[in-house]
Amino acid sequence: MVAKESKSSLKLFNRDSFPLFSFVILFILCLVLMGLDYRQQILKEIKSRLSITVSPIIYLINVPANIFITSKNNFISKIQLEDKIKNLEQTNYSLSISVQENKLIKAENKILRNKLKIEKDFNIVGINAEIILPKVKNGYSIITIDKGLKGNIKIGSGVINNTGLVGQIINVSNNYSEIMPITSDDYAVPAIMDSSKENIIVYGDGNGGLKIPLFPASSSISINDTFVTSGVGGSYPKGIKIARVVEIIPTKSPKFNFIVLAPFSQPTTFTQITVLTTKK
């Protein structure tokens, strides 16, 4: 069966009659309240009073969100600071390398200038080389440099650096040479004092120092007096610094004193050396 279509239309309200009287009363009441609010600002007063009660509730509701936002911002700030610190450390490291390179360049420039001055002052031709391996060989201190026969290095040549006498070439191969330092107990060099023309032999003591076993007691000598090469023998030009006096010890013989000397040159400190060839 087909249902019959209802002829009655659908109504919004269940009542059959419209409540006109109630509507008019409510409308008039609304107008009165709006007028009172406009004149007396009652709504603002109500809002201000309610806000005292509502504000804590709103604050408590927003606490989790505020904590999350604050934590997120702090976390982002921490990451940014860590990245900034890392970048600053890398920059500082790069700058320290640049400073070190500048210091090395200045030091090398100073060494080269001093070498040129030495060659000019002592009328010598020098072969520049570099110390690569200070070591002990067969109980003796040996200094190895990076040049040999191919670099025109010859046995017996004197070796200096910017501070003074280093030693003498004792062994040569094609690419390397060995130096006996002046502090070796097998080393001896003709010398004179700056303040005297008396020739003397200075010996190595084998312990990093130098000595004069029998220095005439009649000759004047004081602490810090300087000994230089005398030029006797032709291995070294005259005037290269050797050592200074650090101690004067009387011997059993009243005619002589034992002199302790400290060398000016420290080969392990200055890697650049010059192998001497005297100009003819």
Answer whether residue 234 shows pLDDT above 50: yes
Q: Give φ, ψ of 45 to 5 degrees.
A: -65, -40
SS3 58: helix
Q: How far apart are CA 229 and CA 233, in angstroms?
A: 10
pLDDT by residue (tens digit) across 242-271?
Answer: 999 999 999 998 899 999 999 988 766 667
pLDDT by residue (tens digit) across 103-132?
Answer: 877 776 776 666 666 666 666 677 888 888
Answer whether residue 149 shows pLDDT above 50: yes
Overall average pLDDT of the 27-47 stretch: 76
SS3 263: strand
Eight-class DSSP state of 10: P
Asked whether the beta carbons of 134 and 144 are under 8 A apart, the reply is yes
Asked whether the beta carbons of 129 and 279 are under 8 A apart, the reply is no
pLDDT at site 1: 47
Q: How far apart are CA 157 and CA 273, in angstroms?
A: 12
User: Between residues 259 and 239, which one has the greater pLDDT?
Assistant: 259
SS3 158: strand
Answer whether residue 62 shows pLDDT above 70: yes
pTM for the structure as a whole: 0.57
pLDDT at site 14: 57
pLDDT by residue (tens digit) across 64-74?
Answer: 877 878 777 77
Predicted confidence band of residue 12 (pLDDT cuts 50, 70, 90): low
